[in-house]
Structure 1
């Protein structure tokens, strides 16, 4: 390879990553807004018990999907030269998997309803099984576009599916005030995902398993990891639904979803682009490590304050937007949004490991996480009920940061201390933001009247944003203006400034 080709290659990769990240970030912003708005509207129209009932069935579905997760898209992305046989094999494996899950759901429908002592669960299980069967026919070509860092189709599919879900669920809830609104929205998203996938990326698959071994060799450990990770994140919902009640489960699941929404929706597009991006850098630890450090610093700086900010405004936002019947969700959001924000430190360990084919490391991490989380959740439930479960999750979430930074150290030789130091400025700035908002709140009226809640939000949000950005800039200056997200932001602003004045001179 000529010496000048590597910088050109890096420039092209950065350019495609930037375009892909921006497009997916836009899609996640749209999806985030739609999801938040629909959650608020559905919370007004339905009850915590409705959400809790559906959460039991969707939790079982999520575990079933994870246990049989074949990670087919990731398998195709990491191939050097995927062929039509690879795509057709992936499609066939997906259809077989969907048929197995649908059959198991049909068999387990009535026993599940008996176990949770609610006959309504049987029909919900039948409906979800049918939806899973539809989803199994998804277009396998979607992975090729992700592999080539082309995300226009991904944007259209995800936004269209979310629009279909929101429109369907709100319509059913408005007319019938029934938990079927949640199921109907999910089924609509499955139909839209499959349908528009073939419209945007025409492809006629056929049944074959000729490349089964090749795809399975990559996805085996990743499948085990997905199963372990989903059980980690979902088994607490089944415990709450069985031993505390569906209303508490509804408050817990809605609070959990709102708590993780900002961090999840902001990091998902970056994760999708960084997996193929890291893979394109090859096996050079220096190049990959530099790319990881740059990306991780940006993620923490952008996402951490948003998660912490959600925790700060949870009380007035829930009371104003969802009503007093959802007050039990406030503590869930406050506690979990804070820990999700901190978990952005080391959050890119997953795409980094995938890019190097080190899926066994991910599985080992998730096993360690499960071994810690199971006793923490069960013990928390036994001694503290719903509050105990949340406290247990906070503890385990903080410990999970250590698992991720350890993986990064092993993959690209960045010491743990150096990783933590690289995130110090945004963490300190977030602490200052929290202190500023909490201290200032003593200066205005506290109450549950609509005017009080609106005032709280109107003052807290701009104050928190100003405190964070101001602290970040001051700490950057104290540190001697090192390379990092702040310098990149200044460069972007300078480029826009120069472009603006250049246009002004031309006019």
Structure 2
């Protein structure tokens, strides 16, 4: 267990660095582009991106996960994976080209046709990536992801900003996506050399693992992307721009703070899936630590959303603030059960993930449609909060089925974190009320409010969490795991195994 946890920490360091850099680049890019482009521009591109996400999910084959799960993939497995991926990319590009004209008619937006064609070219390029580089992930080695993520994001951000400065057109967003895709695909062949050839020898073997993931991904993406199509059709492109940008910003803090750990969880759990006790213990520890990290950043971002938007993006983006406030907190809370995905994949129970996704589709879609049609954007926000909390409950129930870890035990493992998060929120809200910053002022008042709120949260959350931990006699929990990480980092710096395998 200590060896695997050490590898997870080492991998998390690489992913943390990549996430820190790409997060900063993405945030800067969003701020710059938000000032250069209009909300309707973001809404137009969001329509194309949503169509791409849905069509991609419907044909997703989860080949990387199948290779990680396979005990000993051979060269023919990689040729099969490359052939399937390339064929899928070509099929996706053709489907998007066929769908372009009908979508123009549905949304009454002539510019959408060329946007769809551009995204079709992007997905075709992405299908040609090197599947062999996943072997490093299988061995819990993640330097390649650092390079791919950082260089790809640099290409995306640089291209988008340059095109926006010169032309101030929505094509800046699309050009950035294509540039990042081209650079990332080319770099995969420098990570681990591979000369692909056509072959389908192991197609059935890989498909047997990934078929349920594919079906689940299709249902899940339609479920979670349908709201953007709905907003674009009912409320207009400007509202979709506010919603899509707010949604993306709301996801960012929790995603970037926890991704270094969640990215290592599937390959780590897959290595011990044969041992139920170790698997249960490892999941319990990892989940509690992830929520311990997610709560302060997710709730904290919600608390500073309004002054941050005013300072960074300007008053024209204020309608995005309620989206950020509600969803940022929800994204942090749903980490209570969201780690069920790598857990079920590690055990090979992908069919149960599909059943979960189908259940959430039947529950979520009517709530989202009803909330949006009846109450507009505020109704959609409340619907997202309700369905997010329901999803967390369903995920925790599935964890109970997979490893016999009761829902009560799952909640209690995060009890101190939840109390500390509530205390932090109360303290920051009281401070903001005391400061009484003018709602629409842009300048040093808002910057002071942000700085004071962040400082208060940084003191209150760990103070309450560790205070409760000491009062309970320092039991095993996320606090003790967090204190072990610096020692693990020092211990892994000189690990020769990492250098040899990298």
What interval of TM-score do these two structures reach, taking the shorter chain for normalisation?
Answer: over 0.9
Unaligned runs of 5+ in 2: 492-502
* Displacement of 1:173: 0.7
**Contact 2:9–2:489 (8 Å) recurs in 1:** no
- Counting only pairs closer than 5 Å after superposition, residues 25-424 of structure 1 correspond to structure 2 as 25-424=16-415
TM-aligned CA deviation for residue 485 of structure 1: 2.2
Contact 2:44–2:237 under 8 Å retained in 1: yes
- CA shift digits 1:436-489 (9 cap, x unpaired): 011122221311131211111111110111111111111112222111222233
C-alpha separation in 2, matches of 1:492 and 1:210: 43
The question of whether the paired residues in 2 share the 8 Å contact of 1:165 and 1:188 is answered with yes
Q: For 2:314 and 2:482, how far apart are their aligned partners in 1?
A: 39
Displacement of 1:46 in angstroms is 0.6
Displacement of 1:208 in angstroms is: 0.6
Structure 1 SS opposite 2:211: helix
1:475 and 2:471 correspond: no
CA–CA distance in structure 1, aligned partners of residues 442 and 160 of structure 2: 30
Q: 1:465 to 1:130 in 2, by over 3 A?
A: same
8 Å CA contact retained: 1:89, 1:212: yes
SS across alignment from 1:82: coil
Partner residue of 2:445? 452
Residue 494 of structure 1 and its aligned partner are, at CA, apart by: 7.8
Unaligned residue ranges in structure 1 (runs of 5+): 1-9, 499-507
Cα gap change, 1:479 to 1:60, in 2 (>3 Å): same
The residue matched to 2:336 in structure 1 has which SS? coil
What secondary structure sits across from 1:442 in the alignment?
A: helix
Q: CA deviation at 1:495?
A: 8.8
Bigger shift: 141-150 or 114-123?
Answer: 141-150
Distance in 1 between the 2:490 and 2:406 partners?
A: 38
How many Å separate the matches in 2 of 1:432 and 1:306? 14
CA RMSD of aligned residues (A): 1.5
Q: Distance between the aligned counterparts of 1:496 and 1:209, measured in 2?
A: 42
Rounded to whole Å, the distance in 1 between the matches of 2:190 and 2:490 is 41
Range with greater deviation from structure 2 (13-22 or 77-86): 13-22
* Partners of 1:346 and 1:452 in 2: CA distance: 38
Indicate how the Cα distance of structure 1 residues 216 and 141 shifts in structure 2: closer, same or farther if over 3 A, else same: same
Shift of 1:107: 1.3
Query: Conserved in 1, the CA contact under 8 Å of 2:133 and 2:191?
Result: no
| 3-state SS of paired residue (1:149) | coil
Contact 2:10-2:489 within 8 A present in 1 as well: no
For residues 61 and 481 of structure 2, the distance between their equivalents in structure 1, rounded to whole angstroms, comes to: 38
Task: Classify 1:87/1:492 alpha carbon distance in 2 versus 1 (closer, same or farther; 3 Å).
Answer: closer
1:254-284 Cα distance to aligned partner (Å, 9 max, x none): 0000001111223333222110100101322
How far apart, CA to CA, are the structure 2 residues paired with 1:153 and 1:497? Answer: 21
SS in 2 for 1:141: helix
- Give secondary structure in 1 for the equivalent of 2:332: helix
Instruction: Kindly provide the CA deviation profile for residues 81-136 of structure 1, in whole angstroms up to 9, marking residues without a partner as x.
Output: 10111100000000110111111111111111111001000001111111111111
* CA deviation after TM superposition for structure 1 residue 50, in Å: 0.2
How far apart are residue 343 of structure 1 and its match?
0.6
Is 1:442 matched with 2:433?
yes
**Cα offset for 1:14?**
2.3
Q: Is the CA contact 1:228–1:366 (under 8 Å) kept in the aligned structure 2? A: yes
TM-score normalised over the length of structure 1: 0.94
Report the CA distance between 1:28 and its aligned residue: 1.1
Deviation at 1:493, TM superposition (A): 6.1
1:209-265 Cα offsets, whole Å, 9 max, x none, are 111100100010000111111111100000100111000000000000000111122
Residue 108 to residue 176, structure 1, CA distance change in 2 (3 Å) = same
Which residue of structure 2 aligns with residue 485 of structure 1? 478
Q: Is the CA contact (8 Å cut-off) linking 2:58 and 2:218 kept in structure 1?
A: yes
Q: 1:360 to 1:311 in 2, by over 3 A?
A: same
Residue 24 of structure 1, aligned match among 15, 20, 30:
15
CA distance in 2, matches of 1:282, 1:104: 38
